[in-house]
Structure 1
Amino acid sequence: MRNIQEHRSKDFYNILYSLNKYEFDDFNALASIIGKTVIKPYKECQHNSLKFLIEDEKFEEFIYDIDKDTGKPVTFTCDENKLANYFGANLEAPHFLTPVFFNKAVLNKYKTDTSNYTISDGLIRYLDEWDIPFTINEEDKVVVWLGDLGRIPYNEQKYWRTENIPPQGNIEKNFWKQQIEATFIDNILPEKWIFTLIDKVNDKFDKRYNIIIFNPLSEADKLIKSAFMTPVTNNIDEFKEFLIQLCKITVESINKKAIQKYVDSDKLKDEQGQTLGSIGQLEILFKELNIISGNKLIDILRLVYNSRNKLSGHTASIKAYNKLWRREENYSPNWITDSKILISSVNDALNDLIEELR
């Protein structure tokens, strides 16, 4: 038997190469490499999460008021150690719970990157690292507390600062009740409330008729729950995306299989013998069950579905869209307003359905 060893080392590795030779007929050699390599870190931290923990804290200043004498914006740091609070700190400074206002465009970053960010009802969350409460007021402005801005990373603060504006409008009342009065609130944002209402409708139908009306969103569509919002800008493309998502949440989620088990197949066909679409089948189910409030839901779902078809499903036609909405053909729609009308109408119809089934 012969043994050969070679040792190599530097300041960042130490390796021993070994070769053993034997006088056997088969398998007469054995080699091994034993060692350790040290991978040195960068001299400066690059990971955002770690930088947030080890670097000196930085804080952006935000507009929170207008000077009554000069009309100029008034700013202050979001560092909570320099803000007033309910325990007597910094009495001359703005309070931690000072509302700060932003253009709704600040949400674009979070609604488009659904793999990292989640927008729930009144809360933006980045993975498990940070979150910030928010609301949207009647002026379509995003509102957060000054002190909460100091609890997100500095780079995020700088991003929010780009859309920071002087106060416009009031604070949404449910957000105020939840945050200030510590009152349990069912909903803050109408576009997030729809998911709760759908769950409640399903629960009522399941308990009474042993069926659910709306199927859960598919695995590929689950992220809609975070991304779904009324348009940030008065832009037709954003409105089209809103309609597509609203249809997936409602019309395309109608549980036709459950309806077909509950209603005779002949009743689910039109005069030509063709099977009705999902909205038509749901309408028949409501009639069979004598659910009066179902008519309101059917009407608004048809408006949602046909609006999608006029703008997204086929060649887009604003004239055809206006006709559907019973407007002058040359009318110039406000897409943000129309989206609010649709989501509020759907929510109202779902709520009426829930009330009737109590």
Structure 2
Amino acid sequence: MSMEQECKRLSQETMLESLTRNLQLTDMLPVYYSNTTGPHSHGIYCALVPSDRVDEVLSTLTWDLSHGGGVPGSAVYHDDGDERIEYLRFGDDDGIEPLVIDRVFHGMREDYKEISEEFRLFHRLYHDRKTDRYLKFDDDGSETVVAVVEDDRVLIRVKEIRQFLAIRDMHLSIQFDCREHSNHTLKELELDEGGQERRDGLAAWGLFYGDLHGIGEHCAFSRLLGKRLVEPLPKSKSGLWGFEEKADKKYVEFIIGLDEYGDEETYTSNPGALANFFGANPEAPNYLTPVHFRKQVLDKYFQQPSKYTVEDSMLWCGSLWSMQIDNHHEDKVCAWLGDLGRDLPFQEQLHWRSFNIHPQGGVSETYFRRQILAQFANSERPEHLFVNRYAQLQRDCSEHLGWQILLPLDAGDAYFIKSVRIPASDEQRDFDELVLGLTKLLIDSLNEKELNKLIPEADGPNLKGSISRLEAALQASNEEGYESQIAFLRKLQNLRSSSSAHRKGTNYRKIANDFGVDDQSLSAVFAGILGQALGFVEFLTTTVREGCLRRC
């Protein structure tokens, strides 16, 4: 490295630019940083300072909060000979608080950094312990990474910092102490010892040069010392109820029909602008105007079962929002115009609008009877029936057997039952995943331990696999009509093994032909498979209720 490059490195221009740059609300800001590798030692630590102390804080380069500070302590005061002891939540009475706390355990346990509990609770952050990331959930269910904790740094998003500062009437002081070392002396570098201090707006710093005079392996050094303050947002932008300005909800227009020329007719989904049965907005479409969508509109929700749940006539996003839907059609989904505006966040309305199609036909009979006639109506959709019967089988097993013939799903597999559906498209991937899911639910979940108790001891050692054990148990119980059910399970197992679990080849073609894959769409094929799966679950339910499964 040339002398010119070495001087530039010691000038720390790049570091200073980074520390004093204009911050965007979406920036991830280092509020803690420690790097002592190579010829430098960089340290950043933060402090929350009262807004009325900004000028005082910037009048000196000395840090206002050091590592290890900001923890509970006490102070002793003497007034006219009287001693008074006070508990101090942050160890001092100067109003300065930590945002990142050093947790030190003196070698008894591993040290770590912890983000202020108040900050975490203020934003209702979820701590993903596997990744050490903190997530914030918006009203529509979307996730934002707000903070990241790593071994040598802590990053927090600027927006959430400034919102917190707004409510606390505080500024964030980013304190920095950055040193660069050189194997050359100041004389060789043609640099003068000493330095100068500077203040620019909400930043104050000093750059100093010095010689180590033989102490350590390096000769000269530079030190960039100072602090940069981050100001709060207005309280109206804090996001806290009562302080924030309530933005008017936005509404999407949806296709509700075609005019006489074949042009699309659209109308707002704002419930307050729609007609109802009580005389409101008589010139507008009714709240209960059906809006039609391609069936793929639900794929987004099926693909994220940890966040969304699609049930018979209902769509849920955790406990944040829900909407009644007509999902009783082969090729579409319907919803009421007013429900789309009332129940869906704006971003979700945009998602649904992208799948909006011209209306053709009406809502399903099931949905009409439930919604308009207020009558009880069972769904006739095989996916709804399967989920319902699967749950009923578990209840019947508890009542009549005292054990489950199909083991309850582990937490990591619970999404399989939530994902049961007839696919909206003929994508091979969707078909394979659904076949895999059915296999998990019907075959991998068979309770081999309890089934073994129903099988004669002489037969047990010769049996391989859960299907063979179920077959032997049913045979030993003299159950009738089980042969076709066992044949279905074997075909399903073979289909899974030749498609989802392995590369496809001639074996897959042979097995797929058993289900008519070449003669029908994959959606139709899976509908047939699901129908057989429903028949198997109903067969087990009848068997359990009739007490046919007897101990040997």
TM-score by length of 2: 0.54
Q: Work out whether residues 275 and 285 of structure 2, in 8 Å CA contact, stay in contact via their aligned partners in 1.
A: yes
* C-alpha separation in 1, matches of 2:53 and 2:418: 46
Structure 1: give runs of 5+ residues left out of the alignment. 1-7, 22-29
SS of structure 2 residue aligned to 1:11: helix
CA contact (8 A) 1:82 1:90 kept: yes
Q: Deviations over 1:280-313 (max 9, x none)?
A: 2112222222333433432332232221112112
Q: Could you tell me which of 265, 270, 294 is aligned with 1:103?
A: 294
Task: Determine if the alignment matches structure 1 residue 311 to structure 2 residue 495.
Answer: no
| Displacement of 1:132 | 0.9
Deviations 1:103-122 (A, max 9, x none): 12222221222332222232
Q: How far apart are the structure 2 equivalents of 1:58 and 1:322?
A: 51
Q: For 1:292 and 1:245, locate their aligned partners in 2 and report how far apart those are by CA, in whole Å.
A: 27
2:316 counterpart of 1:128:
no
- Mapped pair 1:91 → 2:314: no
Alignment partners' CA distance in 2, 1:155 and 1:303: 43
Q: Which moved more, 1:203-212 or 1:233-242?
A: 203-212
* Secondary structure, counterpart of 1:313 in structure 2: coil
Query: Which deviations, in whole Å up to 9, do the C-alpha atoms of 1:307-343 show, x marking residues without a partner?
Result: 11121122213x5344335469993652111111111
Determine which of 407, 420, 427 is the counterpart of 1:215: 407
SS in structure 1 of the partner of residue 474 of structure 2: helix
52, 55, 58: which one aligns with 2:247? 55
Confirm or deny that 1:354 pairs with 2:541: yes
> Structure 1: how far apart are the matches of 2:481 and 2:261?
55
Task: Indicate the larger mover: 119-128 or 344-353.
Answer: 344-353
Give the aligned partner of residue 171 of structure 1.
363
Identity %: 28
**Counterpart check, 1:66 vs 2:248:** no
Aligned 8 A contact 1:293 1:353 in 2: no
Inter-partner Cα distance in structure 2 for 1:260 and 1:159: 50
Matched position secondary structure for 1:58? coil
Q: Which moved more, 1:76-85 or 1:172-181?
A: 172-181
Per-residue CA deviations over 1:100-156 (Å, capped at 9, x if unaligned) read: 111122222212223322222321111212101123344421211111101211111
Letter in 1 for 2:346: Y
Query: In structure 1, what is the equivalent of residue 471 of structure 2?
Result: 283
Aligned-pair CA distance for 1:256: 0.9
Matched letter for residue 458 of structure 2: D
- Quote the Cα distance in structure 1 between the aligned partners of 2:497 and 2:280: 57
**Closer, same or farther: CA 250–330 of 1 in aligned 2, 3 Å:** closer
Structure 1 residue 243: deviation in Å?
A: 1.0
1:338 counterpart residue number: 525
Residues 294 and 94 of structure 1: CA distance in aligned 2, closer, same or farther (over 3 Å):
farther
- Deviates most, 342-351 or 246-255: 342-351
Name the structure with the higher helix share: 1
Paired position in structure 2 for 1:183: 375
**SS at structure 2 position matched to 1:65:** strand
Does 1:302 pair with 2:428? no
Residue of 494, 507, 511 corresponding to 1:320: 507
Check whether the contact 2:312–2:327 (CA below 8 A) recurs between aligned residues: no
Matched, 1:75 2:283: no
- Counterpart for residue 451 of structure 2: 259
What is the identity, as a one-letter code, of the residue corresponding to 2:446? I
Contact 1:122 1:188 in 2 (8 A): no
- 1:26 corresponds to which residue? none
- The structural deviation recorded for 1:185 is 4.1
Select between 117-126 and 321-330 the one with higher mean Cα deviation: 321-330
Residue equivalent to 2:224: none
CA distance in 1, matches of 2:328, 2:240: 32
- TM-aligned CA deviation for residue 353 of structure 1: 4.4
1:266 is paired with a residue of what secondary structure? coil
**Pair 1:227-2:286 in alignment:** no
Larger Rg: 2
The aligned counterpart of 1:243 is 435
After TM superposition, give the deviation of residue 187 of structure 1 in Å. 4.0
- Note the C-alpha offset of 1:55: 1.1
* SS, match of residue 350 in structure 2: helix
Q: Secondary structure at the match of 1:150?
A: helix
How far apart are 1:247 and its partner, in Å? 1.1
Maintained 8 Å contact 2:328/2:379? no
Are the structure 2 counterparts of residues 104 and 257 from structure 1 closer, same or farther at C-alpha, using a change threshold of 3 Å?
same
Pairing 1:203–2:390 present:
no
Asked if 2 retains the 8 angstrom alpha-carbon contact of 1:133 and 1:144, the reply is: yes
Q: How far 1:88 sits from its partner (Å)? A: 2.8
Aligned length in residues: 338
Query: Which structure 2 residue ranges, 5 or more long, are not aligned?
Result: 1-48, 58-63, 66-73, 78-87, 98-163, 167-231, 547-552
* Alignment-derived partner of residue 39 in structure 1: 165
> Counterparts of 1:202 and 1:12 in 2: how far apart (Å)?
65
Letter in 2 for 1:93: A
Structure 2 distance, partners of 1:12, 1:228, is: 60
- Structure number with the higher strand fraction is 2
After superposition, give the CA deviation of every residue in 1:142-171 in whole Å (9 maximum; x if it has no partner): 211111101211111111101111124543
Q: Deviation at 1:46? A: 8.3
Query: Match of 1:11?
Result: 52
- Name the Cα RMSD after superposition: 3.6
Match of 1:160 among 345, 349, 352: 352
Residue identity opposite 1:346 in structure 2: A
**CA gap 1:165/1:48 in 2 versus in 1, 3 angstroms:** farther
1:113 aligns with 2:304: yes
Superposed displacement of residue 11, structure 1: 2.8
Further displaced range: 206-215 or 257-266: 206-215
Higher RCO structure (Cα 8 Å, ≥6 apart): 1
CA 1:168–1:186: 2 relative to 1, 3 Å:
same
SS in 2 for 1:109: helix
* Cross-structure match for 2:33: none
